[in-house]
Amino acid sequence: MLKRIASIVLLALAASSAAAQTSYPARPIRFVVPYPPGGFTDILARLIGQKLTDSWSQPVVIENKGGGGSTIGTDIVAKAAPDGYTILMVAPDLAINPSLYARLPYDAARDFAPVSLVAWGPIALVVHPSLQVSTLKEFVALAKASPRPLNYASGGNGTAGHLAMELFKSTAGIPLVHVPYKGIAPASTDLLSGQVPVMFLQMALARPHVMAGRLRALAVAGSRRSEALPDVATVAEAGLPGFEVNPWFGVVAPAGTPADVVAKLSSEVGRIMRLPDVKERIATQGGEPAANTPDEFGAFLRSEILKWARVAKDSGARVD
């Protein structure tokens, strides 16, 4: 009798799971972007959201919930119902913030169900032309010989550009002084005017200025060269082996979201990232599409949290 009851329960659970995957989504999906409109993260979310809407015939509504270094929008999704109807666009901040904030209202490692990586967003080490260097080795030599440490800009404390430069400093063994700005726009404006001589800049922003001669690209931070600037070597190729910073973007859902729903989301997002028009749109922003499984993305997120914890500890970077 007990075996029969157990069999009935298992069959019911299996049927329920199959029904959930077949019927999902049955209503609009809320896609939270924890940043203001207009940035690369927002562009990616809108690309994916429109394609999901087209294929699933259910609206995917983009909600920009910027503020708090992405913690406000991230917390909204962490506390949302785990049913697949609220998802979150994430970037390196998800892995960096646990090491920068004394307290977060969520646990980055436990409160989310990874769905998929969606893109890489390469960054380049760029200098103002007034700085008399043409290669990474020349820049390192200049920084070491300078009587006063050179300044570098970033879009703010705790951003990927800030911690990438801190990692670069420790790898190269050079002194540099951080000048944080309230966003990448004012930081790049001062770089272009020569107020600060160097920074790591998103490829989409760097490329037109490099091509016009307003900035000089010394190296790309990632593990391989960028198609946007194929003649520019990686930092490792240019003389600092082991250095690698690959800004990334992905999708997560609240922890506890049914595995079959997560799998369906991941499969569809992966399909979208392989579409020719999506690849082309991302390339115009200096990015590179990507995709992986929930397990692969989860392992990647855990490794990123550990990586940036070491960088934050070594640099002493804090937000509060």
User: What is the per-residue pLDDT for 270?
Assistant: 97
Average pLDDT over residues 19-34: 85
Q: Fold match between 27-120+247-315 and 123-220?
A: yes
Q: Is the pLDDT of residue 14 over 80?
A: no
User: What is the per-residue pLDDT for 156?
Assistant: 82
Q: In 273-299, which positions are buried (b, 16+ CB within 10 angstroms) versus exposed (e)?
A: beeeebeebbeebbbbbbbbbbeebbe
Q: What residues contact 191, with CB distance under 8 A and at least 6 apart? A: 126, 128, 153, 197, 198, 199, 201, 215
What is the fold, at CATH topology level, of the domain defined by 123-220?
Answer: D-Maltodextrin-Binding Protein; domain 2 (3.40.190)
Phi then psi for residue 272, to 5 deg, are -60, -40
User: What is the per-residue pLDDT for 45?
Assistant: 96
User: What are the boundaries of each domain within the chain?
Assistant: 27-120+247-315, 123-220
- Mean residue pLDDT of the chain comes to 90
User: What is the per-residue pLDDT for 124?
Assistant: 95
Q: Is the pLDDT of residue 10 over 80?
A: no
Q: What is the pLDDT of residues 288-309, one digit of tens each?
A: 999 999 999 999 999 999 988 8
- Beta strand pairing status for 288-289 and 112-120? antiparallel
Q: What is the pLDDT of residues 221-236, one digit of tens each?
A: 988 898 889 999 999 9
How many angstroms separate the CA atoms of 288 and 284, rounded?
10
Q: State percent of the chain over pLDDT 90.
A: 69
Average pLDDT over residues 253-269: 98
Average pLDDT over residues 120-136: 95
Q: What is the pLDDT of residues 45-61, one digit of tens each?
A: 999 999 999 999 999 99
| CATH 3.40.190.150 matches 27-120+247-315 | yes
Q: Is the pLDDT of residue 1 over 70?
A: no
How many angstroms separate the CA atoms of 64 and 83, rounded?
20
